[in-house]
Chains A and B, each alone.
Chain A
Amino acid sequence: MTDKRTENLATRRDVLASAGSLVGGGLVSGLGLATISVAHAQAQSTPAAMALAIHKIAGEATVKPGKVKLDMPPLSENGNSVSLTVTVDSPMTPANHVKAIHVVTEKNPQPYVISVRLGPRAGQANISTRMRLSDTQIVVAIAELSDGSFWSDTRTVIVTLGACLEELI
């Protein structure tokens, strides 16, 4: 098999073991199920690692909530690909613009996701990409403005797991 997916094996095993009983119960009773991944995964970055990553980005500056809007689906269909859009409220003029946008997470193996550099020529501070989420967790977008201030927005994304899988786990 070309696609070996063992990245979050620990998470999946735990979840599927409990999901097994739900499969039967849910289908039989005809109840809708919305079980989510809440198990702990191993070898992951921690909130502390995320805090350190944010410190590396912002240095001594305080990162204030505001100006930034992080758009992500609250419930992701598959943690392998979660869309995200970051928009920053900025006139994007030479005097007042967004210099950089960073995205970091709490529980992936590493806190870093993407860091972009942009400037007034962007016209708008608006970027989109797709990211992996090993588990249900917090994602933070941070914008660095030309005046040296840092702003952020935070989202929690719940990750569901596929039912029909590649390997028996």
Chain B
Amino acid sequence: MMERVPNEYGRFGDFGGKFVPETLMLPLEEIEAELDKALADESFKQEYIRILQHYSGRPTPLTFAPNLTRQVGGAKMYLKREDLNHTGAHKINNAIGQALLAKRMGKKKLIAETGAGQHGVAAATVAAHFGMDCIVFMGEEDIKRQELNVFRMKLLGAEVVPVSSGNRTLKDATNEAIRYWVAHCDDHFYMIGSVVGPHPYPKMVREFQRVIGDEAKEQFLAREGKLPDVIVACVGGGSNAIGMFYPFLQDDVRLVGVEAAGKGIDTPHHAATITKGTKGVIHGAMTYLLQDEYGQILEPYSISAGLDYPGVGPEHAYLASIGRVRYESATDDEAVAAFQLLAQTEGIIPAIESAHAVAKAVELAREMPPDETVLICLSGRGDKDVQTMMRHLGAREGEDIATVR
């Protein structure tokens, strides 16, 4: 039996905690107190579920992937369809939960950071829905890479602030969002986009994402009469993965998190934080991170902007340390191949982040007998990635995209 985490200090074993400037300690205590009250409040839970159903379209389906299964020739493969959420990814589950908490705390101004723009879009969306203001910090590099999502956020009425510090990507956008929060914590609510940051954020985001795993468990049992043998999810900060894994932690199910191996984990160009990182503090939490020997944080790389983060949620660091979840990685090329494979076998275009999970799941399923099952968390849809794919595939000279498979 595993210990209950996080404990009262926000620790998951050695990981987690609150490594933030003193100014933020009281705001964090206030959020923690309100979160605990909200989670114990039936009417809060009902409103959260009601909005998930009527606004985001939950429950999302569990889809059997017969063609993919046949092609791979191993275990039966299932997809949990977070791609069918409003705004196209699991990020909205968390955004709705945190917006409800902000409302409960009387805060009408939201701060968010974003990399690919998926969390920024989710934050801007719930801000519009709840009649709140929203300011989104985004690295200048990412703004260039994700033009469409920037425009989407603006259409939704959010203010997008370009971040020019550091390497101008998600890590720096998160720094800047936290700095802005330090200056405006009296009337703003910081809506973090993954299971990262200081306590109670990793716990809060897990609680607002576990709906993925809770639904999947029920759906899978109804469909197969047993639990899946293996569950696979991609890990950036780790919110879709924790959301999916958490309800299965006590069960006899193999859990596999897939990090981005970029151009390869033996090159400097990857975002495989647990696979290659070391213990330290990033964005207020003790966890694994990519850093040099002097503790300066390194810039990660992945084709997928949503996995391009040098840290990882502290609960994942903990689950890795106790061996409950296995963390592996998939390269850009493997993710791109899986992206095409799923599109062409099932007519489902996955987010490039989710394609990392598909790649690893295919590899595992191939080695498993046909009476076993693999469940993939399909965290988002790939409309946002079509341009990236065009660039990536176009770069392979002379290759005909239609016949890559």
Q: Is the pairing of A and B real?
A: no
